[in-house]
Amino acid sequence: MTFLRGSSLALAFFAGMIMTSGYAIAADLPNTKSPAPPPPPPSWWSTVTVNGEIDAGITGNFDDPSSGLNWGHLFTDKSNEPMFNQGLLTVQRPIDSSKPVYDVGFAFQVMYGSDARFVHYLGECEYCINSLYQVSLVEAYVQAHTPWVFPGGIDFKAGQWPTLEGAEVIESDLNLFYSHSYIFNYTEPFQDTGVLAIAHVNPTVDLYASVVSGENTSIGFPYGDNNTAPAFEGGIGLNKLGPGGAVTVLATTHIGPEDPYYARGVEPNGAGQVPATYPGCGGGTCGNSILRYANDLVVTWTATDKLTLTLEGNYTRDDGIQDETYGAAGYASYQTPIDWLKINGRAEVLRDETGAIVAAFPGNFDFVNVEHGYLNTSIIDPVGTTYFEITGGLNITPPVPSSIPFLKAVIFRPEVRYDASLNGTTPFDVQSATGAGIKSDQVTVGGDVILKF
């Protein structure tokens, strides 16, 4: 009995040890409960976005030119006059180029405002509204990402889109300043119509190649396209260069016959206007062998998390009007310790060899008339000028109260700008809508407010 009692105590003790050890082992094991399944990927339609933007401002000119024009400005060309520059509606579904899968997207953007005078595709309602404020299509394209050939695949785009070239763009909020550089205003195309391929060769190298109808044109001679030949736009992009991958480079070129070609020898629009003629064609009409070359290089260095520096170089030659421009612009943008305040600077030099490129367009249709080759009232500098401009400005982005519906952001961009001729010419302070300037420099103070929805 004593033995049995002792055996029972031993068994009980041994069982308790087993139970205790088992509990400890179970406590140390990871949770064996099945994890929650990952959320389903977003549907294609759920990634479509609809955004709006409003931009309005004013550029004050101390000379108060009688013509009402700020020479050397394009989108901010009206002196001492409030302007509604842009009302933008954008509907888009971007593609994801980072994954080795097929993806399809699109973009559609339309503009109303004074800026629309300069960003028409020829043949698309450029003469619909005879007003300072017009309607224009900025972009409309479909795009696709394909996991073909290269590790990063190839993107394709078909339709109409803003040019690859330049440090500045059409959409206001994507620029540091209210006013634009000479390079953006006068030497580069604004938009293209055609087919574009972007090859992501590796994480460092992107190759661009497109066949387009020309600068700011659509299709269909003579109203959509002012000549009967295609053009090429392409280049190379280099990403994440230098220590920390802080440098990017984009080198692009646009080559094609861009001067109006009216071989028929008749008034092209039946409205009493005659084709322009160019010295590069022996005083006659231009053929498709007369080319324009626009070459651009943009280098961006994110020096610190607060400071970004950009350098742009540009060379453009037009064999039709026998003119060439070459210049450079430097940008600096510093994010201050105040979250809503950024300080920006720009300095630029541009040489317009004969004076035929930098111009003013007092009439609402003057810019598109020049592109078509119709008679116009635009003003050009009668001699070649080397232009200099330096601009200082702020980006002020105060927080938006959540109580304001739909409003996503507010941006104020005040600026002070000084323009001058470096070779003694007097293109500034234009005295009339058909006359030349009388001063060698110009000071403007302006700015705008952008509301994003």
* Tens-digit pLDDT profile for residues 66-95: 999 999 999 999 999 999 999 999 999 999
Q: What whole-number distance in Å separates Cα of residue 131 and Cα of residue 78?
A: 14
Residue 319, amino acid: D
Report the predicted TM-score, pTM, of the whole model to 2 decimal places.
Answer: 0.88
Establish if 16 belongs to a structural domain. no
Residue 56 lies in a domain: yes
Rounded to whole angstroms, the Cα distance separating 291 from 297 reads 20
Tell me if 20 is assigned to some domain: no
Chain position carrying tokens 């105040």:
338
CATH number at residue 343: 2.40.160.10
Q: Is residue 292 part of a domain?
A: yes
Six token digits for residue 392? 């200082």
**Is residue 18 situated within a structural domain?**
no
* Separation of alpha carbons 62 and 149, rounded Å: 58
Q: For residue 259, what pLDDT is reported?
A: 79
Q: What torsion do the CA atoms of 442, 86, 329, 204 make, to the nearest 10 degrees?
A: 180
Asked if residue 1 is part of any domain, the answer here is no
Per-residue pLDDT, 32? 54
Extract the residue ranges of the chain whose pLDDT is less than 70: 1-34, 261-287, 433-434
Domain carrying residue 377: 46-452
Residue 25 has which token pair? 């082992």
**Is the link from the previous residue into 38 a cis peptide, with omega within 30 of 0?**
no
In a domain, 393, yes or no: yes
Domain assignment of residue 30, yes or no: no
Does residue 159 come out as left (phi exceeding 0), alpha (psi in the -120 to 50 range) or beta? left
Nearest to 172 by CA among 412, 344, 341: 412
Pairing mode, strands 385-396 and 205-212: unpaired
Q: For the chain, how many structural domains are there in total?
A: 1
